Amino acid sequence: MLTFAQFGAGRIGAIHAANLAASGQARLRYIVDVNTDAAQKLATKHGARVTNIGTALGDPEVQAVIIASSTDTHADLAIAAAKAGKAIFCEKPIDLSLKRVDACLAAVKKAKMPMFVGFNRRFDPSFAAVKARIAAGAIGNVEQVVITSRDPGLPPIGYLKVSGGQFRDMTIHDFDMARWLLGEEPAEIFAYGSCLVDPAVAKVGDTDSVMIVMKTKSGKLAHINNSRRAAYGYDQRIEVHGAKGRLLAGNQTPTTVELADGNAVSSDKPLHFFLERYAEAYRIELATFVDAVVNDKPLPVTAQDGRQAIVLAEAAAKSLRTGRSVKL
């Protein structure tokens, strides 16, 4: 049994707390959140206690932390947890600033603590199966990756103001997915971006629609398309083209029901958003972290992966500004 303190009692925190409770291998001791009502509610639900950062990190029985608080607190909490000797599960992004990411990674490294970054999509059973089949040689050498990643709707403009921009907030998952599927680091990146969903997005200096291309040193290519709006729900698909074939993983639907009537043959829209689509991925992700810490296995996603995604987001932003391919 691994004993946890969790920072953050919001939407994603609620998921992790519930998965901890159901895992059978972990125990949630503390919840810390500036919103004490939310903290108390979540703590009560899972038999945990509300406390502050100091108490949580000072308790020697706490072996690991989940950092699911607001982005600007991630790096400091990770550093403090590392210094306190806790294994770290940190939501993405580590920080919006690469400098602070690097400071965080240095501190964690110095403390020799394992740090996992929550790229939950790697644990989606369909995406994981694509990766496994690539590894098994099903399509030969990977040549091109195409990632479609579209949210059902625009977040509040207030959120966008502090999000770090679409690349850091949204594409960051796709950057990680691209690196993971390519099996190589992108060496160059180029991006176009537009504001097509809502002019208010442009007013806060962000984009809501982007298309990115990347190239690795050996010439492998990847494309990402993002939109902050998809009328039909959360669109999350990947394609990997290799020398011997193609792997696709598509959306998931609530049911398999198909209706044929006088108008069309119609089936369910995709699961609406990340809470539904990646429910299983979140469960497996946390179980994998717990298993790795308990059994001293290598982490399948590391702080370094978190850093590389930020590097790509910064480069994409630079390409958007300059109209040039940015070398990495």
Span 126-145, contacts to its own copies by CB under 8 A: 126, 129-130, 133, 138-141, 143-144
Residues in 241-260 that interact with its own copies by CB under 8 A:
241, 243-260
Instruction: Find residue 140's DSSP bridge partners.
Output: none
**267 scored as a contact of its own copies (CB under 8 A):** yes
| Contact call for residue 221 and its own copies (CB under 8 A) | yes
Q: Total number of residues binding its own copies (CB under 8 A)?
A: 74
Query: Based on CB atoms, which residue is closest to its own copies, 146 or 287?
Result: 146
Of residues 102 and 280, the one with the C-beta less far from its own copies: 280
- Nearer to its own copies among residue 156 and residue 219 (C-beta): 219
- For the bound state, the minimum distance from the C-beta of residue 55 to its own copies, rounded and expressed in Å, comes to 28
Site string for its own copies, 185-214 (x = CB under 8 A): ---x-x-x-xxxx-----------xxxxxx
Q: Which residue's CB is nearer to its own copies, number 22 or number 157? A: 22
DSSP line for 67-128: E-S-HHHHHHHHHHHHHTT-EEEEPSPS-SSHHHHHHHHHHHHHHT--EEE--GGGGSHHHH
Q: Where do the DSSP E strands lie in 132-255?
A: 142-150, 186-194, 209-216, 221-227, 235-242, 245-249
Residues 94-133 that bind its own copies (CB under 8 A): 125-126, 129-130, 133
Residue with structure tokens 């160059």? 188
Least Å distance, CB 8 to its own copies, is 23
Does residue 153 touch its own copies according to CB under 8 A? no
Q: Whole-angstrom Cα distance, residue 219 to residue 237?
A: 23
Q: Is the dihedral of CA 313, 227, 208, 275 positive or negative?
A: negative
